[in-house]
Structure 1
């Protein structure tokens, strides 16, 4: 690990060894040539179906080198879920013994392939071409594919390096699972800075004693992607203070940081603590807030990063004054192209910026309607106030309860389904599924097994309630507030 020169510095560190930046570049170019030979180029989506480790890092970088677009897949998800995620992919990047589990219309390229005669494209990819595809929860039971362009990814990674002071001495622990956009930040930002990323098996990340040992052994000094609930879980384990002493940056996102701070968690982190906010549709992060040593009792998400515009608007798309509550609309370079194959939903969520002056014959800028509520304080800092629709955050993932309801309704004994959020004593949000039908004799384990065929773990309800009928509002809609109150 002490090799001289920039190329000899560690790039990817795993329990099995170290890959230097020079070795990583060699492997990336080799795989990129194989991808080019397989027809990968602008607008071609490559599904990366690999276990956590060096190969996944190589594949992500190689697709970018070939000027294609990547779609990372969590290989532990149910087959039905994976099949839905792969709908946009045309090429599969995988490994021997794993590739046969996945299917795409085009060729499969093994991660150790090479095509020496293939010519790599020169320069950077076209800024307006597709960089990656990520997914959000969809109300139809099918996840929505978000299309993010190279200009958005490039701008964000540069901001992440600059704003977080990443450099050649940065050692980042990769926490986010493959298949989620936070893993892109975990992987590519430290490499762009000339630093290194430590990749551990998922099982090690869930065992605090192993995680803490790895942090000390590899000199981890930065965490770019953790949820407040996971940070709370770690902070309450023996050895946390000692293990986190050398971590000079912890960046959280995905959930409210307020419960962690209210419980005194800030004192456990001697370094910088950054609260990040931003949806998948706006390239991971739109605002950031440096949490002081004595934090306020408020959910502060900070100010926009470079290239991002934040507008707080009322229902008529008029800007609200400072201190007033408005819906967060995000604009600027981070705004995604839209949802694949969902023109109606794209038009609904991605709207013209009414404050942008459009030149004759030109195209106006767009805003993404987040569904989040916030107010801007006199100092320009945004205070997050929750959502104005049904989507919630569970373990850092944005969840549409309707997606869980759609799968529940495919069970032969269920005639009605409604999913509501609840909060436990540790301020963690979880899902409660309320069902009607011939379900008195259907055990919770059977319902979970049915859901597990199609849904990832974060969409799994913790509790099930069985009802003869749902309470309704005066308009005849399911009274979700009454359901949630009755489940407490």
Structure 2
């Protein structure tokens, strides 16, 4: 029978039950203890055989136990950060039809519209509880990851057990992950790097170290946590790599850094390359996590100062295709398309509509169109160039500018607007909103407060420019080249 996430985890429980599994700032649980926690949580589920379960929790031992419990029950987990704007959080959970939500008392009000399982940091482990049946199946979704349509509407990506197993094995082989490793859990649960951190550790016999939110947001505290917990592998977005690069030295135990989610510039890791191995990776949520990787060296830097995204790492093929899904000439630009076993099953939510990024090419294979433009280099590596649509990464998180514009227009203060992204001197993207106010009494604070009901803070533009009218071209469309450019030096906070 084909392995599932839980069956693979159970093998590790049997092989080395006393090995540390998850460490947070309050407690440490071994593989056997985590397995007992899983059964204890399932025994409290308000639904006997759920299909989808929301998780709104602080990152902790209990959160990881809840994730595994949902998977063992045969359901898919739908994880959302507690600091998500309330309307955004509720909408996503409703659209994905969760049977109930696992949460903590302090977040119970956020999910009052749902059946709730409220757990504490002291989950009672019943020693008399017999192991519960494993209802997970390889061909069923394990989780639904938050993403959005090209127009910026919320969307879920359903990823199956088999895809996660497939990725975890490739992750182990590529980075030599073993029981000697301790992986840092740094990323938000709505990002696919979170999947890499959690299952890259727990499906390969390694340990997962989880800092608190306050520690994650303070670089000095984070470095102390990494040092004290003997972390060996850190995954993160380029902005994290840039912060680590500014340190005098990394903790001695760190052996590997894995960057993903955005373009990695050589200037962001110049000091790190002198200390540890650094990989640059690429992969959308629809491909589970990453599908390519490049070991970064001074010799691999491209003319624009960035690193290639590398070569396929997990059996997923990469092709550069034109708009008619035909391969372009070697070295030519085209759309990065993915083929293989690691691709997601389907989309969920009310806005999946006519979205059809999955297609079938001439040889009958299913291909995912990423919407990203790239090319293959002479040495076989691939280079990411840009995205076709109005999409950008802010602090490692995907932002579609159309969604920001729609949220801004919900305010009675705004007559028209357009949001544009620029890149600062450090290579980091930032948003600028160009606004046509409805009246002279325009109040920016009112607009931003209204936007905060729908958008997380990283999606609210850093700069706002008031205009009498938006410049247009001959066809009547907004002409971004005619907008005044707002510069940022890369050091502003």
* Fold in common (TM above 0.5): yes
Q: Using the alignment, how far apart are the partners of 2:238 and 2:186 within structure 1? A: 13
- After superposition, the C-alpha distances for 1:338-381 in whole angstroms (9 at most, x for unaligned) are 2214686565211123332xxxxxxxx42111111111123221
Deviation of 1:173 after TM superposition, in Å, equals 1.2
Q: Does structure 1 conserve the Cα–Cα contact (< 8 Å) formed by 2:392 and 2:398?
A: yes
Asked if 1:180 is matched to 2:179, the reply is no
Could you tell me whether the CA contact under 8 Å between 2:300 and 2:308 is conserved in 1?
no
Provide the residue aligned with 2:267 in structure 1: 262
Taking structure 1 as reference, are residues 198 and 295 closer, same or farther at Cα in structure 2, changes over 3 Å only?
Answer: same
Per-residue CA distance 1:167-225 (angstroms, 9 max, x = gap):
1111111110233232122122112121111111122112111111111111111112x
Q: Which residue of 2 aligns with 1:166?
A: 177
Aligned to 1:486: 485
TM-score norm. by structure 2 comes to 0.88
Query: 1:72, 1:262 → 2: CA distance?
Result: 34
TM-score, normalised by the number of residues in structure 1: 0.89
1:346/1:246 CA distance change after superposition, 3 Å:
farther
Structure 2: distance between partners of 1:145 and 1:267:
35
Q: Deviations over 1:363-402 (max 9, x none)?
A: xx42111111111123221011111221111111121100
Distance 1:234 1:127 in 2: 38
Per the TM alignment, residue 486 of structure 1 is displaced from its structure 2 partner at its CA by 3.4
Look up the match of 1:307: 315
5+ residue gaps, structure 2, are 1-14, 488-493
Which residue pairs with 2:294 in the alignment? 289
| Cα separation, 1, equivalents of 2:361 and 2:35 | 41
Output aligned runs, 1:393-408, within 5 Å: 393-408=393-408
Residue 131 in structure 1 maps to residue 137 in structure 2: no
Q: In structure 2, what is the Cα distance between the partners aligned to 1:397 and 1:153? A: 21
Residues 1:214 and 2:225 aligned together: yes
Determine the structure 1 residue equivalent to 2:428: 428
Measured in 1, the distance between the counterparts of 2:455 and 2:40 equals: 35
Distance in 2, Cα, partners of 1:349 & 1:404:
22
Within-5 A mapping of 1:87-486: 87=94, 88=96, 89-103=98-112, 106=115, 108=117, 110=119, 112=123, 120-122=132-134, 125-138=136-149, 142-224=153-235, 226-236=236-246, 240-258=247-265, 261-262=266-267, 265-268=270-273, 270-292=275-297, 294-297=299-302, 298-341=306-349, 345=353, 347-356=355-364, 365-438=365-438, 440-483=440-483, 485-486=484-485
The 1:347/1:75 distance shift into structure 2, 3 A limit, reads: closer
Q: Secondary structure at the match of 1:406?
A: helix
Q: What is the Cα deviation at residue 463 of structure 1?
A: 0.4
Q: Which runs of 5+ in 1 are unaligned?
A: 357-364
- Aligned-partner SS, 1:177: coil
Query: 1: CA distance between counterparts of 2:115 and 2:361?
Result: 38
Distance 2:326 2:198 in 1: 39
> Following TM superposition, by how much is the alpha carbon of 1:139 offset from its aligned partner in structure 2, in angstroms?
5.5
User: What is the rounded CA distance, in whole Å, between the counterparts of 1:375 and 1:181 in structure 2?
Assistant: 24
CA distance in 2, matches of 1:332, 1:172: 27
Contact 1:251 1:274 in 2 (8 A): yes
Counterpart contact for 1:254–1:395, Cα < 8 Å: no
Taking a change above 3 Å as real, the CA distance of residues 93 and 310 of structure 1, as seen in their structure-2 partners, is same
Q: How far apart are the structure 2 equivalents of 1:295 and 1:351?
A: 33
**What is the CA–CA distance in structure 1 between the aligned matches of 2:268 and 2:186, rounded to whole Å?**
23
**In the alignment, what sits opposite 2:77?**
70
Which stretch has the larger CA shift, 442-451 or 374-383?
A: 442-451
> Which digits, 9 at most, give the CA deviation of each residue in 1:1-25, with x for residues without a partner?
xxxx822222111221211122111
Other-structure match for 2:42: 32
